[in-house]
């Protein structure tokens, strides 16, 4: 279910309040996505991440196809022979494991997730953000802190549907990012950002930009230089579901991933791929209206040389 947490928090959960209603979630696992986090809310299960708050109102159950007395055992064994090990484990054994064909298979919750408190404590030499515009689809703004060792920290996310370009620009301007890397295909959205005084940096998109950006992010995960706050629920979900097309005989990853579950990932990629290519150090952005005031004062009090 796409955008599950937004739907649960904004629609489903409120409808249960007045009647103290109940919810039943049934699914085959698909990687370590929102369904895994739901399953882990049961205090008898391992936590999905160290800071997860479990809830005694939740109870989890696990059944495999083998537990179903109405399905012939020989048919299950035939499927075992025909499917890959990962696919059989997921579809027939209800096993939580990384999605087959996963793009960011280097992402590891144990290594790369940090608490919101840890994210707040990062001493940053630069504060940037990537933006993927949307309206019916979510708009994703991913803020990133960068420390002196060039480690990247996704400290939170702004992931909303129904946001106009002026609303996106207003939110972004209020965050006072040093640099912002938006999707260049939305010329009007970029213009709104500039009009709001945001320091917009140019993002280049070409036939190789997706693969190049993915490679940079994967390398950061391999080097343990990219960390994600547990506040970034949608970004985490996308990291664990963004996949390549299914091809049994594919031995390389030259083809671009399936264009879904990628709004926060696109925002992350715009920021990291462009910043890591063009940045050589920390900078401070001076909004245009402040710069103009400085120039007027300078002309009055600083003698010409």
Q: What pLDDT score does 179 carry? A: 97
Q: What pLDDT score does 301 carry? A: 42
Chain region(s) in the chain for CATH 3.30.420.280: 109-278
pTM of the model: 0.67
- Write out the CATH class of domain 109-278: alpha beta
Cβ(135)–Cβ(162) below 8 Å: yes
Q: What pLDDT score does 294 carry? A: 42
State the pairing for strand pair 158-160/139-146: antiparallel
Cβ(102)–Cβ(87) below 8 Å: no
297: Cβ contacts below 8 Å, ≥ 6 apart: none
Element (H, E) at 218: helix 209-222
Q: What pLDDT score does 240 carry? A: 87
Mean pLDDT split into 10-residue runs, the chain, 305 residues: 83 93 90 87 88 92 93 93 83 80 89 94 97 95 97 97 96 97 96 97 91 95 96 92 70 71 95 79 45 46 39
The count of residues in the chain is: 305
Q: What pLDDT score does 248 carry? A: 45
């Amino acid at each position: 279910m796409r955008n599950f947490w937004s739907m649960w928090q904004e629609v489903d959960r409120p409808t249960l309040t007045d009647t103290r209603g109940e919810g039943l979630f049934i699914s085959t696992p698909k990687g370590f996505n929102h369904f895994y986090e739901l399953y882990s809310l049961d205090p008898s299960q391992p936590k999905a991440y160290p800071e997860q708050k479990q809830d005694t109102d939740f109870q989890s159950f696990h059944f495999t196809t083998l537990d179903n007395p109405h399905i012939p055992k020989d048919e299950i064994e035939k499927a075992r022979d025909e499917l890959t090990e990962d696919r059989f484990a997921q579809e027939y054994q209800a096993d939580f494991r990384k999605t087959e064909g996963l793009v960011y298979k280097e992402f590891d919750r144990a290594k790369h997730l940090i608490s919101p408190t840890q994210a707040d404590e990062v001493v940053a030499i630069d504060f940037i953000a990537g933006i993927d515009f949307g309206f019916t689809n979510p708009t994703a703004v991913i803020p990133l802190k960068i420390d002196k060792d060039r480690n990247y920290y996704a400290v939170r996310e702004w992931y909303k549907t129904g946001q106009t370009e002026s609303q996106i620009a207003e939110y972004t301007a209020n965050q006072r990012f040093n640099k912002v890397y938006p999707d260049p295909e939305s010329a009007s959205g970029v213009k709104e950002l500039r009009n709001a005084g945001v320091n917009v940096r140019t993002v280049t998109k070409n036939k190789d930009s997706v693969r190049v950006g993915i490679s940079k992010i994967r390398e950061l995960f391999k080097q343990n230089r990219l960390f994600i706050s547990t506040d970034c629920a949608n970004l985490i979900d996308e990291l664990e579901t963004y996949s390549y097309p299914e091809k049994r005989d594919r031995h390389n990853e030259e083809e671009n991933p399936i264009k879904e579950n990628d709004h926060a990932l696109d925002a992350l990629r715009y920021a990291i791929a462009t910043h890591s290519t063009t940045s050589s150090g920390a900078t401070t952005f001076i909004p245009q209206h402040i710069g103009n005031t400085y120039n007027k004062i300078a002309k009055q009090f600083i003698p010409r040389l």
